[in-house]
Structure 1
Amino acid sequence: MSGYLGLFTAAFLAATILPFSSEAVLAGLSSAGGFDVLWLWAVATLGNTLGALVNWVLGRWCLHWQDRKWFPFQSDDLQKADRWFAKWGVWSLLLSWVPIIGDPITFAAGFLRVNFGVFMVLVTLAKGGRYAVVLALAHGFL
């Protein structure tokens, strides 16, 4: 159980502003044996999606604090995400798994008031897809 909880925590933190590598934790646990691969995938996907939801909530409700030192995104991060959304719209959420740009995209989705259901579907697909690829690589399928 502690392996699954550790994976959930790593995946959650990796989707927030904290630099963390959930892929390494997932690959390590799946290679170690004793864990169900489908459960590992589900736990990692859930944790990472909920972490992205934190960014959406921050964007939706906390933008008026953007000038504070503790605020998780810099002005240029917000501008980059805004430009990305202007060009690609909600479909850019399918890139929410990408390091560095994924967090600002999910944050921008919040401050641009992207529908919660649309956000959750697209982000879950993106995060789940990434973890499926990580597991496939860890087990030599790709």
Structure 2
Amino acid sequence: MEAWTHDAVLWLLQVLALPEIGLSAIFIISLVSATLLPLGSEPAVLAYVTLAPTMFWAAIVVATIGNTLGGAISYWMGLGAVKTYETWREKHPHDDKQSHYAQKTGGRWHQQISQWLQKLGPKALLFSWLPIVGDPLCAIAGWMRMPLLPSLIYMAIGKLLRYTIMTAAIIWILPHLGWA
């Protein structure tokens, strides 16, 4: 039994050793950073690609998948929130807080943003890569019940472009311009 435990520990250490952990670490960091938690995945992608330049596309694809799945989590959180709110409204049809909530969520900005999102639909999720607004945008897409598959596709496209452009620029373009 001890030999099996020893082999299992060695196997686990080998799995967690660099550079093998790089892609799984990028996946986890990218997934978590796409939720509403404040974390950036770009430094992990950049560090990995700097250490292993031949893994550029592998790192970009893994980061894109992780970040898109994190966006999907935010989407499902928004969908769950709207379903919970609707259930609450059904159980409390004459609650004063409901009318107070409706007054607080109205207004010019709310109306303009809602119209913009409804007009663009899932295409708005091309902007899900943006700092500060990108993660809530995924949750709002769920709240607005945008179709899931097109939403995920547009999220993935935006995130793929972000990782590709940012990483390539920092590694290959900026040094030639004398900026890095």
Please, what TM-score do these two structures have when normalized by structure 1? 0.82
2:171 to 100, 115, 139: 139
Q: How does 1:42-61 map to 2 (within 5 A)?
A: 42-61=61-80
Partner of 1:121: 153
1:18 aligns with 2:50: no
1:95 corresponds to 2:114: no
Greater RCO structure (CA 8 Å; 6+ sep)? 1
Provide the alpha-carbon RMSD of the alignment. Answer: 2.5
Question: Identity of paired residues, percent?
Answer: 28
Gaps of 5+ in 1: 66-74
Which whole-Å CA distance do the structure 2 matches of 1:103 and 1:81 have between them?
15
Contact 2:64 2:163 in 1 (8 A): yes
Alpha carbons of 1:6 and 1:25: their partners in 2 closer, same or farther (altered >3 Å)? Answer: same
Out of 47, 63, 66, the residue aligned to residue 28 of structure 1 is 47
What's the TM-score, normalizing by structure 2?
A: 0.66
In the comparison of the two structures, how many residue pairs are matched? 133
Determine whether 1:109 maps to 2:172: no
Q: SS at 1:141's partner residue?
A: helix
Q: Which runs of 4+ in 1 moved over 4 A?
A: none
Q: Is the CA contact 1:11–1:48 (under 8 Å) kept in the aligned structure 2?
A: yes
Larger-Rg structure: 2
Q: Answer 1 or 2: which has greater helix percent.
A: 2
